[in-house]
A = this chain, B = another copy of it.
């Protein structure tokens, strides 16, 4: 059993007593079985598992993994005895058996869920302070680089990573992936209308973009998907959510211009294969508005995922220029890219209110120095954006795009970090973990500060604000030499000066009534006030 808790039961093992077959709650119970391999097993046969425990009954699709092997995966959400049955046209026989779901191991808190409408928590109630990163194509890089990426992630604060199944063709991404999701063969599964409407990449003018595939988009390449099995499981073991990007426009192989039928087939395959991993999130698309697909397509695809995913993983869709309608019922959270160069995370509280859902800023420009504005902000500015988003009750995502002689940029390829922001994000995460009442929300404050307060507090703003038991006043790029607070005269507040860039928390004494707290006149400072009881 790996850290991610995968138990594989073969047909032979299925008859063994259940106490010999244990999987932990929120682990993956996998049933592996031989079946028919004639024709196109991805299309021609069905496989389905029914899992019955005392507290739940789950029906889920299985999938063909090549070489005559079919698999069904299940994530138990409760401890206790389970009975399973696997059936379908894949075989003449059904398969039945029992297993035991045990207590989760330390560090396993279950899938991430929406908590109190606007925040995120693991299923066991532990708050999830999302500090994401982005390595779009890391699982399509050479194996050695993938291992390096995992090593970097292990030593980082990141607890979510966004990446794609399909290979990526884009600036700094002109190399072929190590495998393709489909088998080569006679071109099959293309939609000519979508080919016509496909996104063009004007910044790669010398590269002919082949839009008609020489792949058979009805036949998956199991080797490709097995690698994703392994990587998702390893991320799970590191406590990192896998925000899986199901579709994207950066393509020259024809995968972005498949027919609806092939898109649906692919989505079903991916959900059947990965839904049982507790750390999976579904990102329907990256920059959906650059693809050749319509709103009707996205809505149908989302409906399919809702139907097929028995665990209701987090679901969203990521924009380029125009936000998707995040009020759609299937959207669990806003997965946002900034649509303005100057004001974006500063709207976090407004978007939370508008959509009544958690806001995750998955793209707010990356730390780096590439040519494009989405990839050349400073570490200071990226960290500032994280603090803005966090104190306003949202979550933010990191990425790094420093020029590299081999074009190995963390944002797409992974490998190692070169920037300055990550340690500061770790520091922010530590501060967030100290939040009383679990979650922060925007607490008004003056025009020139952002104030985070506990989510269960209420606060009156304006010229004569009141004060909560816990407040973080953040001054962003401002460089105040001091700040005046009008604290209640009958309470005592412990004050701390937080240097969010130099990662220090300094005692600033105890305060009551009209009071002044000295600051160093540098940017990126905060004052934390904690009422003494």
Contact = CB atoms under 8 A, between A and B. Distances in A.
A464 B484 CA distance: 51
Contacts of A381: 477
Contacts of A373: 446-449, 475, 478, 480
Interface in A460-500: 463-464, 475-484, 486
A231 to B, nearest CB: 31
Given A377-B477, A378-B523, A463-B202, A482 B371 contact: yes
Nearest to A403: B481
Contact of A342 (B343, B377, B481): B343
Interface string A371-397: 111101110010000000000000000
Contact of A479 (B377, B463, B476, B483): B377
Contacts of A346: 341-342
A521 interface: yes
Most central of A202, A479, A486 by chain B CB within 10 Å: A479
A420 interface: no
A480 B370 contact: yes
A484 B371 contact: yes
Interface string A147-184: 00000000000000000000000000000000000000
A interface, by DSSP: helix, strand, loop or mixed? loop
A479 B376 contact: yes
Contact of A448 (B341, B476, B486): B341
A39 interface: no
A523 B370 CA distance: 12
A467 to B, nearest CB: 15
What range describes how many residues of A lie at the interface? 35 or more
B205 A514 contact: yes
A149 B278 CA distance: 67
A146 B205 CA distance: 61
Contact of A370 (B370, B371, B374, B481): B481
**This chain's copy number in the assembly:** 2
A86 B523 CA distance: 60
Nearest to A345: B342
A483 B447 CA distance: 36
Contacts of A478: 373, 376-377
A479 B380 CA distance: 12
A371 B480 contact: yes
Contacts of A477: 377-378, 381
A468 to B, nearest CB: 20
A369 interface: yes
A92 interface: no
Contacts of A342: 342-343, 346
A361 B374 CA distance: 27
Most central of A340, A371, A374, A483 by chain B CB within 10 Å: A371
A203 B481 CA distance: 16
Contacts of A371: 480-484
Interface string A440-457: 000000111100000000
A440 to B, nearest CB: 19
Contacts of A482: 371
17 contacts: A200-B463, A202-B464, A202-B486, A340-B343, A341-B346, A341-B447, A341-B476, A369-B479, A369-B481, A370-B480, A371-B481, A373-B480, A376-B475, A376-B480, A376-B481, A377-B479, A378-B479
Given A341-B448, A373-B449, A376-B475, 11 more contacts: A202-B464, A205-B486, A205-B514, A369-B481, A370-B480, A371-B481, A373-B446, A376-B521, A377-B478, A378-B523, A403-B521
